[in-house]
Structure formats: structure tokens, C-alpha cells
Amino acid sequence: MSERVVVIGGDAGGMTAATQARRMRRDDLEIVVLEKSEWVSYSACGIPYLVGGDVPEWDDLVVRTPDELRARHIDVRIRNEAMAVDLDRRKVQVRNHEHRRNFEIGFDQLVFATGARPMRPDVPGIDLPHVHGVQTLDDGRRLLARARESECEHVVVVGGGYIGLEMAEAFTKWGASITVVDSAPEVMGVLDPDMGRLVREAMQSHGIDVRCDTSLEAIQEETVVAGGDRIKAELVVLGTGVEARSELARDAGIPTGRKQAIRVDRRQQTEVDGVWAAGDCAESRSRVSGEPIHLPLGTVANKHGRVVGINLGGGYATFPGVVGTAATKLCDTEIACTGLNERAASAAGFVFDSGTIESTTRAGYLSETGTARVKMLAERGTGRVLGAQIVGSDGAAKRIDVVAAALTAGLTAGELVDLDLAYAPPFSPLWDPVQVAARKLT
């Protein structure tokens, strides 16, 4: 009899694991994917761009439909929710929402790919129907339907991180009046405040009302109360971060770690043999600090899933960890970071120097050139690069990738200066902005 693997969750982490496993074992592995919504294998990261009109149709965000996956001999069961896992009996209890019945399914191997959910601040009114997270395609559809129904002239975004920024940008295209409320002193908490300030100024220049150091107090019909003020809002978007959906694993007795994300070894296996975890529900390890972190990003989820799939398929793969690279944009302002910011570097016990420079994205003498502000951190003594942050215009953000590669390789600032990077006047000044920043640290 062939082996059966059950995958709980059909998006980035889970479906990547399933398809990768299928590629490696064509005949002797039964693969069942349980997905509680009706969507699998989609790009949740695309939701803000769909809301903003840059993606024509919902379907465009779907990488593969259940039918396409079934044609690859993956038994995709949508609207089937895993309710409990019995590790001793190797069985999952499932609720089939379509037929309103419960059943049990046995497994030889199991993958937790249960994702993350938007954090919901504990304030009155948080469960009102005009309050929306943006984590799943279902979330996104409900939000867009609501926005289309209501006049949507006033939008309040709670939280000035990636999702907050991207949703704010999306609603600028609706011509809505947008307020972003953030409890921190500055937006984009993954950046240091001196860099976050640039993002806030960019938001303000696009007419977004940004209120930092401001607590959300209550949500009412058509009104948000924050920092003592009443702000009009037909729609409230939650951009306050996400938390791992790990209850199912925890209830089954699987240990969790950082921010309740499921603890895994380097093969993405939990403490239980043949039970794996991938994606936003699973922990990662920072290659810079060596410490566990929870980094709920699509890139990481796909990498987790690939590693799990190879291992399920009888191969051997390990996940080497993350440096923590991310990017986003707000209208014409690009934002990126990698590695540790000042707070994280201090928390990890590093003593470091930092350097911030302003450069251009193309040769300065070209009639059209943008700017890039780069901040870089390097360990004192060794000179090893610890992280970088970029805020700039078109072409600025992806420059972070060189720093990500440098972090992975453990390069010093001096070695980064020596890198042989591509130069031509339309692409870069002679010294790339990341090299100019690194020079400040040598």
C-alpha cells in the first residue's frame, strides 16, 4: 500500500510542499491537501494590487486551481477544515463545510501549513463588518466587496507596516481620504525611526493623514476613535501584523517557539517524526543573529514548502534560514530592508556602527534620476555587515538584494565595497548606493 501525506493548508507553504513532493514521487505517494477556504495556491501578496486596480481579476492571483492540481494527482479538498490532529493514531479530524459532515483521515506523514492571521487589536467594535484583515483571498474579496458597496470615501488603515502601506496606496487610487493610525512613534517599524520618517513623509506628500504614537481606542459604525480623535471611516483595514495559526499543532502537542510559530529542525520537521511545518505558521532562523524568528513572508513560505516537499519526496533538503529581506512601495517611494535594524542588532548583543548616505539610482548627470537613501549597520571590530535599509525612488529597493547576499556570505563592509557590481549610467552611479553606504563603514 502506498504512503499517504496529509497537508493542512493549501496556500504557499502547503501547496509548494505538495507539488514538490509529487514531482519527486510520481506513483507511490498519496497526497491529500485540506483547505478550509475555497481557494488554494494563490498570491495573497497581490491583494493590495487587485484592490488598487493593477491586477485585473481575482483569478489572476490564483497560481493553480484545484482542478489543475488534481490533474497532477494531488487530492485537493477545498472547504475541508482540519479540526484536530491525533498524533498517536496518526489521524486528522476534518469538517467538510460543503456537506456539513465530519470525517477522519489517516496519515503517514503530515504537513502543517496553516498560515497566519491578522492580529486584531482588542478594542470595542473590532468585529464590526467594515473591519477587514488582508491575509487570505477570502479576506480580500470581502474587503473589496465592502469597498465597492460603501461609498468608500474614508478609509482608516490601522498599522503602518507593509500591508498598511500597500493598502493605503491601493485606496489612493480610489481617491479616498486615507488615515493611517500607528501606535509606534514612526511608521514601518522594521526600519529604524530615522528611515521610517522618510516613509511617513512620502505618505504625507501623497495626502495620507498619518498619525503615529496614536492608539486605536474603538471602532464604531463609520467612525474610528484613535488618540482621542474621531476619524470618519466607511472601511477599516487591519495592517497590524499577523500571528502564526498554530493552535491545531499546539493542541496536538507540537512545540512552538518564537511568537507561537511551530518549531522545526533544519529539514522543517517538527519534534514529531514525519510531521512537518511550512510557511507562516512555522519558525525560521536568522542567519545573521543565529536566533529563531517568525518571518511570515511569501518567499519564506515557498522556500519552506520546497524543503518539506523534497524531504517528503524522499530527498534531503535543509532550510538554511533567512536574513530577513523584504520590500514594499508606496506610490513612487520604494522601501526595502534586510538583516538587523538597530533595535534587533542591539537585542542580539551586537555592538555596531551605522552609516547613512544619500545617493542617486542612476548617474547623477542624467536628466532623469531618482534618489536612494541607504542606511547600513556593521559589527564593530569585524566590520561584518549586519543589515541595511533603503528608502528611495524607482529602482532603489531591489538593490537590497546585494546586501542580502552579502549577509548570507558573511561579507564585511569592506568586502561589499569591493564587489564588482553592474554599472552603466542608466542603471547606477559608478559606485552603487549600497557600496557608498558600505564605504562609510570602512
Among 292, 298, 370, 383, binds a copy of itself (CB under 8 A): 298
User: Nearest to residue 320, comparing CAs of 254, 260, 402, 264?
Assistant: 264
45 part of the active site:
yes
Q: Does 413 bind a copy of itself (CB under 8 A)?
A: no
Pairing of strands 91-96, 101-106: antiparallel
- Contact residues for 155 (Cβ-Cβ < 8 A; gap 6+): 147, 167, 168, 171, 174, 176, 177, 178, 179, 233, 234, 235, 236, 237
The H or E element containing residue 389 is strand 385-392
Which residues between 350 and 379 bind a copy of itself (CB under 8 A)? 363, 365-368
Which range binds a copy of itself by CB under 8 A, 30-38, 82-90, 139-147, 324-332?
A: 324-332
Which residues between 162 and 191 bind a copy of itself (CB under 8 A)? 162, 166
Among 385, 406, 436, 438, binds a copy of itself (CB under 8 A): 406
Q: Does 399 bind a copy of itself (CB under 8 A)?
A: yes
Q: What is the DSSP letter of 384?
A: B
Q: Does 302 bind a copy of itself (CB under 8 A)?
A: yes
Q: From the CB of 106, what's the least distance to a copy of itself, in Å?
A: 33
Query: 373 and 195 in contact (C-beta within 8 Å)?
Result: yes
Q: Does 428 bind a copy of itself (CB under 8 A)?
A: yes
Which range binds a copy of itself by CB under 8 A, 142-150, 182-190, 192-200, 318-326?
A: 318-326
CA distance 232 to 177: 9
Pairing of strands 209-211, 177-181: parallel
Q: Does 322 bind a copy of itself (CB under 8 A)?
A: yes
Q: Does 49 bind a copy of itself (CB under 8 A)?
A: yes
Q: Does 430 bind a copy of itself (CB under 8 A)?
A: yes
Pairing of strands 223-226, 229-232: antiparallel
Q: Does 303 bind a copy of itself (CB under 8 A)?
A: yes
Q: Does 383 bind a copy of itself (CB under 8 A)?
A: no
Q: Which is nearer to a copy of itself, 226 or 344 (CB)?
A: 344
Among 86, 98, 201, 418, binds a copy of itself (CB under 8 A): 418
Residue 327 Cα to chain centre, angstroms? 10
Pairing of strands 177-181, 154-158: parallel
Q: Which is nearer to a copy of itself, 179 or 333 (CB)?
A: 333
For 195-198, which contacts have Cβ atoms below 8 Å and span 24 or more sequence positions? 195/356, 195/373, 195/375, 195/389, 195/391, 198/333, 198/373, 198/391
User: Nearest to residue 427, comparing CAs of 364, 335, 338?
Assistant: 364
User: Which residues bind to a copy of itself, rule: CB under 8 A?
Assistant: 12, 43, 45-46, 49, 54-56, 60-61, 162, 166, 287, 297-300, 302-303, 319-320, 322-329, 334, 336, 338, 363, 365-368, 395, 397-402, 404-406, 408-409, 411, 415, 418-428, 430-432
Which residue numbers are catalytic? 45
